[in-house]
Structure 1
Amino acid sequence: MITAALAFAVAAMIVNVVPGLDTFLVLRTSAVRGRGCGLAAALGVMAGCAVWGLATAVGLTALLTASHVAYTAVRVCGAAYLVWLGATALWRGRGKAEAEPVELSVAAGRRAAFRAGLGTNLLNPKAGIFYMSLVPQFMPQGAPVFGTTVLFTAIDVVELAVWFWLVSGAAAAMGERLRRPSFRRRMERLSGVAFLGFAANLLADRP
């Protein structure tokens, strides 16, 4: 089991550090709204991964590949959510940036960041397929499926926590140096276009 867990940890880390929607969301949120919001977004992503992992452990994610309707429903909802995030970012990046109340930036901002991280992960069927396709490859023969899947999910979430901690710190440091209204507007516009691109890619995907 130790050998299998180590092998899974290496494979999962390779997948986690490849630039994707989750990393982009944490990076963008940290640069624009600070590390606190970036870590809140990361926590949302990790919560989504935990849900997908548990769903895989009980066999629910198999529905995504077995049912075209289920996969398409999650995919379309995910794309719609990304379009909403993209449109919101583009709207914020328009014209002259307005100052936000402190309580909105800190309290509501972190809650919104958490919801964004959770939503983008849970509404991305690729996240579920990741666990369903990767976990069985490292499952030791005769090992309990539920317990092993939960263990592998925990390993992945811990690795994500370390990775997002590094990403959020670097992005927040960059944002502090460039925390000007013009920089924030450009970041919001870039983020909006990127979210729309992720939405188009998700819509084009097929199970």
Structure 2
Amino acid sequence: MTLLQAVFSFALVAGLLTLIPGLDTALVLRSSISKSRRYAFATAAGISTGAMLWGVAAAVGVSALLAASEFAYRVVTIAGAAYMVWLGLSLLWKSRRQASAPAAPAGQDDVPAAGRDDLYKGWFTGTVTNLLNPKVGVFYVATIPQFMPAGASPLLVGTLLAGVHCVLAMAWFTLLIFGTGYASRWLKGARSIRIIDGITGTVMVGFGLRLVLEPAH
């Protein structure tokens, strides 16, 4: 297998994985609808950052430790699950608090433009969410060796393939962000944002609990 063949083959697998709705998709959609387009892109960039770091870790063998050591896998799993449950409960609490708050006067429920600190928060949330999801690392350590050309540098190829995955993910997230932008007239109302926060919070809590309860491998 040549390097070009490896890249195209991996791109097909990674592209199919990207299209499957999951926690990353929920985070980006929530950010786009309840925050702003810039915040959503910051969140998407954070998710890609986490994926890239996992790809590099897989290339140098760190992710292999997660695949081989049940203890290491469980430590990362519990940390990730705790973070996701906390984030999900925060969204559920926010949704409930907004539901009990008086309605904003007409024209005052617009979402303010994201500042530099908010953009960093979006990027940080996306990055940490992906880094604390051990399944991402296991995916890379299970797939990257299958697309490793003979004699190639594992670090170079692992980084390249992770980069391909990030490009595909950003392309998909861009479509989602601009798609929700067209529907923002109906989706950016206070009631819609409460519903979206509630759904996203429930998804994150459920995903975190699933991480803890299912078998390590």
| TM-score of the aligned structures, taking structure 1 as reference length | 0.92
Question: Cα–Cα, structure 1 residues 193 and 181, in superposed 2: closer, same or farther, change >3 Å?
Answer: same
- 2:137 is aligned with 1:128: yes
Match of 1:16 in 2: 18
The answer to whether 1:148 aligns with 2:142 is: no
The residue aligned with 2:170 is 161
Tell me by how many angstroms 1:4 deviates: 1.6
Q: Give distance in 2, aligned partners of 1:88 and 1:202.
A: 19
SS in 1 for 2:39: helix
- Paired residues of 1:31 and 1:173 also in contact (CA < 8 A): no
Q: Identity across aligned pairs (percent)?
A: 36
Question: What's the CA shift string for 1:66-104, capped at 9, x where partnerless?
Answer: 21111111101111111111111111112227769947x
**Which structure has the greater CA radius of gyration?**
2
What is the rounded CA distance, in whole Å, between the counterparts of 2:115 and 2:73 in structure 1? 36
Contact 1:89 1:189 in 2 (8 A): yes
Q: How many residues align?
A: 206
Aligned AA for 1:68?
E
Q: CA deviation at 1:178?
A: 2.5
Match 1:56 to one of 55, 58, 66: 58
**Residue 190 of structure 1 is aligned with which of 169, 192, 199?**
199
| SS of equivalent to 1:143 | coil
AA aligned opposite 1:191: T
1:179 aligns with 2:188: yes
Quote the Cα distance in structure 2 between the aligned partners of 1:83 and 1:113: 17
Using the TM superposition, name which of 131-140 and 167-176 deviates more: 167-176
Runs of 4+ in 1 over 6 A off after TM superposition: 97-101
State the TM-score, normalizing by the size of structure 2: 0.88
Indicate the RMSD between aligned Cα atoms, in angstroms.
Answer: 1.9
For structure 1, the residue ranges without an aligned partner over 5 or more in a row are none
For 1:142, what is the secondary structure of its paired residue? coil
Cα 1:140–1:91 change in 2 (3 A) is: same
Q: State the alpha-carbon separation in 2 of the partners of residues 134 and 55 from structure 1.
A: 13
- Checking the alignment, whether the CA contact within 8 Å between 2:35 and 2:111 is kept in structure 1 is no
**Equivalent-residue separation in structure 1 for 2:176 and 2:42 (angstroms):** 13
**1:7 and 2:16 correspond:** no
**Unaligned regions of 5+ residues in structure 2, if any?**
none
SS in 1 for 2:128: helix
| 2:120 equivalent to 1:111 | yes
2:21 maps to amino acid: P
Q: 1:176 to 1:115 in 2, by over 3 A?
A: farther
